[in-house]
Amino acid sequence: KVPGADQLIDALDPEQREVALAVTGPVCVLAGAGTGKTRAITHRIAYGVRTGRYAPTSVLAVTFTARAASEMRSRLRDLGVPGVQARTFHSAAMRQLGHFWPKVIGGRPWQVVEHKAQLVAAAARSLAMSVDRIAVRDLASQIEWAKVTLVRPDDFAAVVERQSREMPAGFSEQTVARLYSRYEELKTERAVMDFEDVLALTAQMIADHPDVAKTIRSQYKHFVVDEFQDVSPIQHTLLRQWLGNRQELCVVGDPSQTIYSFAGATPSYLMEFKREYPGATVVSLVRDYRSTTAIVGLANSVLERGRKLDPARVKPLKLISQVGRGPAVSFTTYDHDEAEAAGVAARARALISAGERPADIAVLYRTNAQAEALEQAFQEAGVGVVIRGGERFFQRKDVRDATMLLRANVHHAPDRSMPEVVRDILGDVGWSAQAPTAQGAARERWDAMQALVELADALAETRGADMGAYVQELQERAANQHAPTVDGVTLASLHAAKGLEWESVFLIGVSEGLIPISLAETDEAIAEERRLLYVGITRAKRNLELSYAKSRRAGGRGTRKSSRFLDGIWPAPDVSPLAKERRARTSALATGEDVDPQLFERLRQWRADLAKEMSKPAFVILGNISLVEIAQARPTTMAELARIRGIGPTKLEQFGE
């Protein structure tokens, strides 16, 4: 059932096809969420391999999260192209560094410290600086920023001053620079490295050692980078080293989804791609294949409203849904956090009763602290959850034990099929064909085992995998933290949800203080929060439910307000139900096709006249419905617009309809 080259191309729209057909040479795809960027690059790779332009092992595909990398590998395998390296920058670099370390540096590679904080605290102590926990965290992120943006300790103070970058309270840039320098020394003394060192050392190794460069460059000839808007200078440097003076690079990204600029990411490499590679093919995609018109309309409005406020003034790419109208986006206000969690869990349960698969539902939030109340509420509602897309799946003790048992039985595999053997073995550790009726720990354990069983079925069916291949896949997935689909509702932070999609998405805590988060004070930081909301909204395929809670706990004074990003979209809590309904309908209006300019002009006139005539409260309601939204609406008659806005026939007559 492996698709042939023609079928690979047929599965794409004309612009995506252009990407796939430009098999070699620099290509840049600039496009909004859900337009098929990831699909276009996977098909491009598959097409290049299928037509014999390049060997699968000569491709290095770089994505942003381990989960996305694993997903890309399995998508490629489904397209009949196994053997492509799809990795994060970090894991690709780690492999190369590990390989060449003994020869180039000598000995075994240093251990990577996952959290800077401890080392930063130790560096501070050795300089007799007094720092509390919060300061340590802030200082660690300054050091991280310096490292990803390639600022050395010696240049730190000058760069900070030039950029008027704010330092943690009570610390001058000179002090931070001194700490940074000591931190670097301390790592060497302790023979450890941090995440940034892995990238920096790999790049340096390639730059300084022609034989290393030659080996790596003869292995990898074609490079593909997904989510290129979030590439940091250090990653860009490494990419340039991988490429050498070649140009076989394809990047895809969406400047409106830059959500890691706090960690040094910048969309400028994406925007300036054509300048860096003048011969590049630049393609933009606008058809959104993921989400309904209602969802896309909201996403467009959120970006459009922010455009004037965004210091970068990046013109958002407007999306045009290919999916159809779909249900309206809903907005709900709860009294307090717990009520919100319970409300969302109840809604999720209702969707599941109506036939939705739990794995097709996600609840997204801004801060990981919000997950706790959700976990509790879902447990009470009897709905299983997978936290953060299941990255911790392989760390579960029961999963580790099961994996070990499966591995021990790898040579089991001739008179019975692999899935049968797997069922047998897992049967010994408590799996049964029937799900237990009990909830809680027993159910979670069963769900995990069931996921291993389903994975066995899927692998046997798609790849004819035997026990050896199955166990190998488990090991690979464990290394990449790529959990099999556990049938539970996903709870994930907005950052972790990047690139993923679900049928139904609940976006909670859409209030001031959470999104934008209270820490975001500068215009840049606020703009990034807005993009984060855009990322969240565009994860939903069909149902999107937004909510926030007025106060933190029951009985608390309701002080939170809905997020400023929804001003004019989400009704203030005190407007009349009629106005609420009208606004909800209008906010879902935009579809993205260009409106007839004459109609636009008449609308402007119409609104001006209404403004003169109508009483103030009524005007507030109408006035908030911006012309932009209407201008984005599909060409439609005045009567249709009037109906949506609830304008009576007399008014219409007055305006000539």
38 contacts Mg ion (rule: CB under 5 A): yes
Q: Considering the complex, what minimum distance in angstroms separates the CB of residue 66 from ligand ATP?
A: 16
Q: Was 32 annotated as part of a binding site?
A: yes
Pick the piece of the chain touching ligand ATP (CB under 6 A) from 37-45, 193-201, 214-222, 339-347. Answer: 37-45
* 38 touching ligand ATP, by CB under 6 A: yes
Residues contacting residue 603 through CB under 8 Å, at least 6 positions apart = 627, 630, 631, 641
At its nearest, how many Å lie between ligand ATP and the CB of residue 294? 17
> Rounded to the nearest whole angstrom, what is the least distance from the CB of residue 68 to ligand ATP in the complex?
9
3-state secondary structure of 593: coil
Residue of 13, 78, 173, 657 interacting with ligand ATP (CB under 6 A): 13
Q: Min. distance of Cβ 438 from Mg ion in angstroms?
A: 38
Long-range contacts of 89-94 (CB under 8 A, 24+ apart): 89/62, 89/199, 89/235, 89/238, 89/239, 90/195, 90/198, 90/199, 91/66, 91/480, 92/60, 92/62, 93/198, 93/199, 93/202, 93/238, 94/198
Q: Which stretch binds Mg ion (CB under 5 A): 305-313, 375-383, 491-499, 571-579?
A: 491-499
Q: From CA 366, how far away is CA 332, in angstroms rounded?
A: 17
Locate 198 and state its tokens: 């892995």
Strand order in 502-507's β-sheet? 330-336, 540-551, 502-507, 361-365, 489-493, 385-387
Which residue of 34, 306, 389, 516 would you call a contact of ligand ATP, by CB under 6 A?
34
304 binds, among ligand ATP, Mg ion, none (CB under 5 to 8 A by kind): none
Cβ atoms of 196 and 234 closer than 8 Å: yes
Map tokens 């999104």 to a residue.
515
433 is in an annotated binding site: no
Annotated binding residue 636:
no
Q: Which does 236 bind (CB under 5 to 8 A by kind): ligand ATP, Mg ion, none?
A: none
CA-closest candidate to residue 210, choices 166, 169, 244, 260:
244
d(C-alpha 606, C-alpha 288), whole Å: 32
- Residue 23 contacts residue 48 (beta carbons within 8 Å): yes
The tokens for 263 are 């960690």
Nearest residue to ligand ATP, using CB? 36
The reply on whether position 12 binds ligand ATP by CB under 6 A is: yes
Residue choice 499, 536, 568, 592 for contact with Mg ion (CB under 5 A):
499
Whole-number Cα distances in Å, 219 to 57, 398, 495: 8, 39, 32
Rule CB under 6 A: is residue 254 a binding residue for ligand ATP? yes
Based on CB atoms, which residue is closest to Mg ion, 11 or 620?
Answer: 11
Consult the annotation and say whether 33 binds a ligand. Answer: yes
| Under rule CB under 6 A, residue 499 binds ligand ATP | yes
Question: Which string of x and - marks every residue 79-118 that binds Mg ion (by CB under 5 A)?
Answer: ----------------------------------------
Q: Does 78 bind ligand ATP (CB under 6 A)?
A: no
| Residues 525-554, interacting with ligand ATP (CB under 6 A) | 538
239: tokens are 């990419």
- Rounded to the nearest whole angstrom, what is the least distance from the CB of residue 75 to Mg ion in the complex? 11
**87-146 positions binding ligand ATP, by CB under 6 A:** none
Chain Cα centroid distance, residue 639: 40
Q: Does 30 bind ligand ATP (CB under 6 A)?
A: no
Beta carbon nearer to ligand ATP, 37 or 495:
37
Token pair for residue 565? 């990003």
Asked if 35 is part of the footprint of ligand ATP (rule: CB under 6 A), the reply reads yes
- The answer to whether 384 is annotated as binding is no
Specify the DSSP class assigned to residue 309.
T
Is 572 annotated as belonging to a binding site? no
User: Which of Mg ion, ligand ATP, none binds 33 (CB below 5-8 Å, type-dependent)?
Assistant: ligand ATP
- CB 191 to Mg ion: min, Å: 38
Note whether 43 binds ligand ATP by CB under 6 A.
Answer: no
* Per-position x/- string for 285-324, each x denoting binding to ligand ATP as judged by CB under 6 A, each - no binding: ----xx----------------------------------
Tokens 């989510």, located at residue: 227
253 counts as binding Mg ion under rule CB under 5 A = no
Q: Which of 345, 296, 364 is nearest to 505 (CA)?
A: 364
Distance separating alpha carbons of residues 424 and 401, to the nearest angstrom: 15
Q: Is 147 annotated as a binding residue?
A: no
- CA 350 remoteness from chain centre: 26
- Token reading at 642: 């009037």
Which one of the spans 26-34, 310-318, 368-376, 411-419 is the region binding ligand ATP (CB under 6 A)? 26-34
Report the C-alpha gap between 467 and 443 in whole angstroms.
Answer: 26
In order, the DSSP letters of 81-139 are: -TT-EEEEHHHHHHHHHHHHHHHHT-SSPPEEPS-HHHHHHHHHHHTT----HHHHHHH
**Is 34 annotated as belonging to a binding site?**
yes
State whether residue 40 is helix, strand or coil: helix
Nearest distance in Å: CB 229, ligand ATP: 9
Residue placing its CB nearer to ligand ATP in the complex, 12 or 361: 12
Positions in the binding site for ligand ATP (CB under 6 A): 12-13, 16, 31, 33-39, 254, 257, 289-290, 499, 501, 538
Positions in the binding site for Mg ion (CB under 5 A): 37-38, 499
Q: Which amino acids are annotated as binding site, given as ranges?
A: 31-38
